[in-house]
Amino acid sequence: MTNNFSQTAALLWSVADILRGDFKQSQYGRIILPFTLLRRLECVLEATKPDVLAKYEAVKAMPLEAQDKLLTHTAQLSFYNTSKMDLHRLGEMGIASNLESYIQSFSPNAREIFEHFDFFNTIDKLAEADLLYKVAKQFANAPLSPENISNYGMGLVFEELIRRFAESSNETAGEHFTPRDIVRLTTSLVFSNDDDVLTQAGLVRSIYDPTAGTGGFLSSGMEYLHELNEKASLSAFGQELNPESYAICKADMLIKGQKVDNIKLGNTLSNDLLRNDKFDYMLSNPPFGVDWKKIQKFINTEYTDKGFEGRFGAGLPRVSDGSLLFLMHLVSKMRPKHEGGSRIGIILNGSPLFTGGAGSGESEIRRYILENDLLEAIVALPSDMFYNTGISTYVWILSSNKGASHNGARKGKVQLINASKERAKTGGRGRSGGGESDEVVENIFYAPMRKSLGSKRKELTEDGIETIVKTYGQFIENDFSKIFDYHVFGYRRITVERPLQLAIYPKDQTRVAALQADNAWDKLDQAVQYSVIDSLAGFTEDKLLSRDAFLKELMKKLNGIKLSSVQQKLIVKHLGEHDDDAQLCKAKGRVEANPDLRDFENVPLTESIYKYFDREVIPHVPNAWIDKTKTDPKDHEVGIVGYEIPFNRHFYEYASPRELEDIDADLDIVSTEIMQLLNEVHS
């Protein structure tokens, strides 16, 4: 049995030599992938094909459902084919119709894959280019029988073809294909703490990806487990929105001997087709920064009607970014601790770390995850790691059974690993040539790619992945790994009020004109308007430092005309201005707060809000106070609880500025070079 998977993949991809000129490079995969699947399926079915054909003749008059059960049992696989044809027997005439008939004879679960590949359209295009016979003949001779290559090996071949397909059409690959190095890192992190369990005989576990794409995470999970324990069984589940990616994923699972009915087509957030399932391991790379406006009504309904019985009870993020919806979806699929728990690895951009203040949907989601002790670690990846974006990204690792590792040391703790961190080493001379060495930056986690693929310019090295996984697995701190109590990421947003102190300017014509221009002024009786204006003109003082004194005098001047409290506020609004020397404004014996001076302070959860207030606020604003009516709806304490994870702040290192003499020396060198160039131009 061959183990040279890359050689087999290269042999299959060599069909591109036939296609070149008639098809675009980005179209090769749409031809090679379904033909590879077709050849593998007929090789796998070959042993039981005579029995299936005989059984078909006996049961073809039965209802389709009964036929399907009997033929599946006869094939001893999860699929079958009832045609007498194969790639060797398509003939030279009418090959297109023969091939279509052959594919139509597969069981529904296999036939559906070819339909989502739009394979019948591909067959027509190959026939029009007079290439169908050549392509079919080349695949007919491909050595893809189980004797030559195992299901696991065939899966690796298919993975290699998917990678080549993604690289050949990298302008859209990032939407459906996660780079292999990122997949390997995330998978290794999710499985690493369970190595002892995974090596047990007869092990059966499940793995799930709600944004399955082409199935990279599912394949990587099976590959990882296969390396640890060849006899272990990992059942794959997934859902994918894009029909072509779904077809590739389902084909890959079929090749690996998985139950392909576990792979679903549809929008995971609006139509969870595995609604009642829980999983042992979950991996996902949801789209970055994609809005969920199209499904907003469905999500809002689940949130309001089901609460925590649904998936989104903790809260909803802003409509412009649905990343955290996928995270909460995965959390809802976790097994409870008493059932062994579950582990999650999800790739997110920077927004879910800090977007949204206290009380917002994003903050409440972070709060739920941290206060329920689900978050184990976050790994910051370098920029330029993905095909379709160069932004910084983060791998979140969650567990519903943190006590199972490191003797419970992870309980209540969160590990941050900065895999984007660069180390400086000395070497070389400074630009000024003074003999002093400069710092040269090197990275221990990634290397630049020889050829960029879309926005992907860097890839994690094997040593880099090993370093990250070991650091995480050993739960240690160093210059790129820090461990925190989860409370460190929490705070209370307290409302700080300052007293209303108004100076009134009754004779300021600009203010009086603004009062008269207010729409609310027009609603006053005209006689009242005249009386108020005359009364204001009758004030002897240009400025009064007491609102109450102003209103008292105004009422006297109005000679019995009464103003409602709303009307009084209208006048004060336009004529008044905050003045620290003015008297405090009171209502019902209590000092009123000035809404224009209202402020907020975020107090760490690890500190008393009152001690913080006395230290940080009172020295600057002695007459301020905390509004104790603003309490958290969950714990009912003063202040609204919020959570954010300021990743970069925890790894910030102060770099002292260069000496002015060094900067001047460099500028002199650059100036000299510029003058030399100018002289060359003029000479």
Q: What is the pTM of this model?
A: 0.83
Query: Among all chains, which residue has been given the structure tokens 């529904």?
Result: 108
- Mark whether 104 and 237 lie in a shared domain: no
Per-residue pLDDT band at 3 (split at 50, 70, 90): low
Write down how long the chain is.
Answer: 683
The reply to whether 134 and 190 lie within a common domain is no
Residue 163 or residue 283, greater confidence: 283
E-strand spans in 279-351? 281-284, 343-349
Q: Total structural domains in the chain? A: 3
Token digits for 202?
């007869």
Q: Last residue of a domain, which of 539, 563, 591?
A: 591
Looking at the structure, do residues 82 and 211 belong to the same domain, yes or no?
no
Task: Tell me: do 354 and 483 sit in the same domain.
Answer: yes
Which pLDDT value is given to residue 407?
72
Give yes or no: residues 517 and 470 share one domain: no
Q: What is the mean pLDDT of residues 609-634?
A: 96
| pLDDT on residue 7 | 87
Q: Please indicate, yes or no, whether residues 140 and 241 belong to a single structural domain of this protein.
A: no
Give the model's confidence band at 657: pLDDT under 50 very low, under 70 low, under 90 confident, else very high. Answer: confident
Can you list the pairs that 200-203 forms with residues at least 24 positions away whose Cβ atoms lie under 8 Å?
200/229, 200/232, 201/229, 201/231, 202/231, 203/229, 203/231, 203/232, 203/233
Is residue 645, in this structure, part of any structural domain at all? no
What average pLDDT does range 80-98 have in this prediction?
Answer: 90
Identify the domain boundary among 563, 591, 619: 591
Give the model's confidence band at 174: pLDDT under 50 very low, under 70 low, under 90 confident, else very high: very low
Residue 118 sits in the same domain as residue 237: no
Query: What's the pLDDT score for residue 423?
Result: 58
148 and 174 in a single domain? The answer is: no
Range of the domain at 551: 502-591
| Strand (E) or helix (H) holding 224 | helix 216-228
- pLDDT band for position 245 (cuts 50, 70, 90): confident
- Residues 75 and 106: their CA atoms lie apart, in Å, by 12
- In tens, the pLDDT along 224-238 reads 888 888 777 889 999
Asked if 156 and 190 sit in the same domain, the reply is no
Least confident of 340-354, 384-398, 559-573: 384-398
pLDDT, the chain, mean: 89
Specify the pLDDT at position 216: 85
The amino acid at 297 = K
- CATH number of the domain to which 195 belongs: 3.40.50.150
668 within some domain: no
Same domain, residue pair 127 and 174 = no
Residue 424 above 50 pLDDT? no
User: Per the domain annotation, does 654 fall within a domain?
Assistant: no
pLDDT at 169 (0 to 100): 62
Task: Decide if 318 is inside a domain.
Answer: yes
pLDDT band, very low/low/confident/very high, at 471 (cuts 50, 70, 90): very high
Q: Which of 574, 591, 608 is the last residue of a domain?
A: 591
Q: Is residue 497 part of a domain?
A: no
> So what's the pLDDT on residue 200?
76
Both 332 and 476 in one domain: the answer is: yes
Examine residue 681 and state whether it is found in any structural domain, yes or no.
no
Do residue 247 and residue 392 come from a single domain? yes
CA distances from 428 to 276, 431, 444, 638, 669 (A): 61, 9, 20, 58, 18
**Distance between CA atoms of residues 396 and 327, nearest Å:** 9
Tell me if 642 is assigned to some domain. no
Span of 185-194, 222-231, 319-328, 526-535 with lowest mean pLDDT: 222-231
Could you tell me if residue 539 is inside a domain?
yes
